[in-house]
Amino acid sequence: MKKYLNLFDFSQKVDYKTEILAGLTVALALIPEAVAFSLIAGLSPLTGLYAAFVMGLVTAILGGRPGMISGATGAVAVVIVSLAISHGPEYVFATVVLAGIIQVVAGLLRLGKLMRLVPHPVIFGFVNGLAVIIFMSQLNQFKVENATGDLVWMQGSQLFLMLGLVLITMLIIWGLPKLTKAIPATLVAVLVTFGIVLAFGIETKTVGDIASIQGGFPPFHIPMVPLNLDTFLLILPYAAIMAGVGLIESLLTLNIVDEITETRGRGNKECVAQGSANILSGFFSGMGGCAMLGQSLINVSSGARARLSGITAAVMLLIFVMFGAGLIEKVPMAALTGLMIMVAIGTFEWASLKTLNKMPKSDILVMVLVTVVTIVLHNLALAVIVGVIIAALVFAWDNAKRIRARKRVDEEGVKHYEIYGPLFFGSVQAFSDKFDVLNDPEDVVVDFSESRVVDMSGIEALNKLTERYKKQGKKLHLKHLSGDCRRLLSNADAIIEVNIIEDPNYKVATDKI
């Protein structure tokens, strides 16, 4: 296994130039995103920028996935917007702190391994939906306010000028890597487009047209909320949802970056880092956040693999806010729009379309549903949860149909039922239908060498089967039960009384986690 790349691992060579340039590119891309998400949440732009700085810096240093970028995100903004409107930013800051504590606890309890339960079709749907959201969010840059203050589509020369600048940015990002990879193509594209606008005095929408980003160092600030049970009960639901959304997005992003870089991150460490970052964000006037797939892909595609790029992005973002706001506010939105559209194109799993005719119909359903929920509701966590639940139900249904029984009568007149497949809540009906209680002989053996009792529904099915045979004056024997199945039965000995046949030659394989 490859060693993890990080800034402090001196056994790994870090390309400082690539890391710093990639971090600078990410910092430029973070600004409009952070401003937009803070406005969605009903907070000031600086609240989103401070969150992007704190989240980015802390997770870059402590996170479990070098090269991954965190900051203020739309999913978190959607969660806290109603609280911000009804109770104000102070309650939002308190919610962010509580969400961070929940995430730290989740990491310490090693809940990061739950991501193993997320099937690949769910990841495909999540990524594709996010790609569509990123693309659609850029369409607003092609709109302007009319005389009544409503947003309308650009027309005429203004539209063609915007399209031209966006296409120039996209062409550079696409074509420059074919010539050289010495400098990140994304940074070159932004600077070239910026230079064209300045050189020709082109009037176009800039970062400053969205909001001012001028500010100072994030002020330390204890949330001014009443410290009582009512406050806790008020913010707890928001904090729990925010924590869940943040962890799901962060761990999915970690998995995707793992695949791209062919390395393996540490999910539980990332949970603790995300929680620590949110706690500090709440105390430093930030709206909180989580990992950002778009910015992480910008970083990774620019060649960054170590922690230095994330640290650089966070520090440069703060420098822009404190000292370079006047210059950054002149950056044309066309450059950043072209950059994010290329991110959307790179994010979409085009391979998922090529394999549609080769995938099981259930997997296609899960993938499409997760994509649709992501796009329609803009709730990535809910989309993933829905996908996992449906995938689990499909899995249970498929396994319920796989239970089989081979029947035979030996020379002593004992009937044997050799069971194949798991006995659980989904298969108990099919299991019960396999037995002919009325016509079976006095002794019946049920062989579980190719099966196992999984849950209490399985135990109850055995209990009912035993009662059916008992009413007919017949005896039921269970054979080849594995150790865990016997433990289940022993725990339920008040429910079921049955003769278990021990087989000294039977070895039980145990799972070691």
Structure confidence at residue 320 (pLDDT): 92
Alpha carbon 217 to its chain centroid, in Å, reads 30
Question: What's the pLDDT at 502?
Answer: 52
Sheet holding 499-501, edge to edge: 404-409, 415-423, 443-453, 475-479, 499-501
User: Any alpha helices (H) in 41-155, and if so which ranges?
Assistant: 45-62, 74-87, 89-108, 120-138
pLDDT at 509: 39
Whose CA is closest to 171, among 183, 159, 189? 189
Contact 300, 276 (CB under 8 A): no
Residues whose CB is less than 8 angstroms from the CB of residue 395 and which lie 6 or more positions away in sequence, other chains included: none
Q: Three-state SS for 113?
A: helix
310 class by beta-carbon count within 10 Å (0-12 exposed, 13-18 middle, 19+ buried): buried
In this structure, are residues 194 and 253 in contact, taking their beta carbons and an 8 Å threshold?
no
The one-letter amino acid code at 395 reads F
Predicted local confidence at residue 97, as pLDDT: 97
Set out the domains of the chain in order of their start, with CATH numbers: 16-136+152-209+216-374 (no CATH), 401-501 (3.30.750.24)
Rounded to whole angstroms, how far apart are CA atoms 485 and 196?
Answer: 72
Distance CA 354, CA 368 (A): 14
For residues 308 and 138, is the Cβ–Cβ distance under 8 A? Answer: no
- Report CA 239 to chain centroid distance, whole Å: 17
pLDDT score at 492: 59
pLDDT in tens, the chain (513 residues): 333 344 444 345 788 989 999 999 899 888 877 887 887 788 888 999 999 999 999 999 999 999 999 999 877 887 888 899 899 999 999 999 999 999 999 999 998 877 777 788 888 888 888 788 878 888 888 988 888 878 899 999 999 999 999 999 999 989 988 888 777 788 888 889 999 999 999 988 888 887 888 999 999 989 999 999 999 999 998 998 899 888 988 998 998 899 888 888 899 999 999 999 999 999 999 999 999 988 898 899 888 889 999 999 999 999 999 999 988 888 898 988 888 888 788 878 888 888 778 888 888 889 999 899 888 877 777 788 888 889 888 888 888 888 899 999 998 899 999 999 899 889 999 999 999 999 999 999 999 888 888 888 888 888 889 889 989 999 888 888 777 777 766 665 544 445 555 544 434 333 443
Neighbours of 388 (CB within 10 A): 18
Among 8, 12, 21, 66, residue whose Cα is nearest residue 307: 66
What span, in angstroms and rounded, lies between the C-alpha atoms of 422 and 448? Answer: 9
What does the CA dihedral 309, 315, 321, 326 come to, rounded to 10 degrees?
Answer: -60
